Amino acid sequence: MMGFLRKINWRVALVWGLLFVAMSSSFAFAEEKLPPEKAYLNEVYKNMIDVKNLHYDVEIKAETSMGEVKAAINGEGQEKPLNYKQDIKIWYRDVKNKENTLMLKQYIEQSQGNLVIYMLSNEKWIKQVVPIDFSLSKELPADDKISARTNMLQLMKSVKLTKETPSYKYMQITLDSMHISDAIAAVAKLNNVQEKSMLSATAIGRLGVLATGDIKYNIKVDKATMMVKEIDMDLTEPIRKGAGLFLDIANPKDRTKIEDFLAKSTLNIQITYSKYNQVDPIEIPQDVRDNATEVKSADKVTPEKSGI
C-alpha cells in the first residue's frame, strides 16, 4: 500500500506540474495561426501565466480483480519555492472484501536536488528525502525556453470543444504519444543525463509511451475567468496498452493472469483547481521538522488504518 501512496503523490505532483508547464508554454505562439479550439485554449493559458499557487482536490478511483481503491487528496501548492501540503484519505477493499481507510497528512518541499516529504503516519511524523534527477527550479536559457514551449504545444495533437454552457467550456485534449516520447528524450538531453540507470529508464519510458498511444483527457474552463477548473483523465486504456508492451517478456504462466488483471482494471482521476493566487505561503511547522524521524526508501512504514 505504501508503494501505491507514493504513486499517488507523484500523480498529484505531475498533474499539478503539467498545468504550470502548459500555462507557461502558450504565449510564444500568439502570432501562430491555430485552429479555433486550440487558439482559445492558448488564450486561457496566457491568462493563467501569472498563477503561482492554487488549491487542488483530487479524486482517484481504481478498480481491479484484487480489490478497489478510492482516494481523496485535498491540498495546496505553490510554484516557487516548490511546496505542497495535503490531506489524504484512502479507502480500499481487498480481494477478501475487507474494507479499510487510511488518513494521512503531508508536507512536501523542494530542497536543492531533492524532494523532502514529511508524512504523519501512526500519529508520528516521518521524513523521507527523494532525489530529483531533473531540477524543478532550473532556469533555462531563453532559447531553451522557447524550444520547450514549442514542444509543449506540439504535444497537443488536437483540442476539441465537446460541450458549452453559459458558464463553462468543456474541451477534450489529445496528446500525441510520439511527440511525448520525443519530449522525454529532449528533456534527458537537456539535462545531460549520463547515468546508465536513468538512460535505461528514459528508454523504457519512451517505449511505454509509444505503446500507450495517443492520450485523451478532458478539461473544464470557466469562461468568465478564463481559468481551467477541472481535469478528468480516464487512464484505463493507456495503462492497458502500455502494460501490454511488457507482457511479451513476462513469464508465460503469468501472462494470462496479468492480461486478466489488466482487462478487469480501471483507473480514473479527476482534479479540481481553485483559489488561484489566493493561497497563503506554505510553511512546514517547526515542530514537524523537529520531531520527524527520517526513513530510507527501503524502510517499511505502516500507515495507520481503521475499519469502516
**What averages of pLDDT result for each successive group of 10 residues across the chain (308 residues)?**
41 44 40 78 82 93 92 92 92 91 93 88 90 55 50 76 97 85 69 64 72 87 95 88 71 77 90 94 95 74 40
What's the distance, Cα to Cα, between the start and end of the chain in Å?
17
What residues have CB less than 8 Å from 224, skipping those under 6 apart?
A: 167
Tell me the β-bridge partners of 86.
75, 106
- The alpha-carbon radius of gyration of the chain (Å, integer) is 20
Q: Which residues pair with 106 in a beta bridge?
A: 86, 119
53-64 and 227-234: which strand pairing?
unpaired
Q: Is 240 exposed, middle or buried (0-12, 13-18, 19+ CB in 10 A)?
A: middle
Looking at 98-169, list the stretches that DSSP marks H as alpha helix, in order from N- to C-terminal side. 142-154
User: What are 65's strand-pairing partners?
Assistant: none
How confident is the model at residue 119, as a pLDDT? 95
CA dist 173 and 255 (Å) reads: 33
Coil, strand or helix at 181: helix
Instruction: Classify 1 as helix, strand or coil.
Output: coil
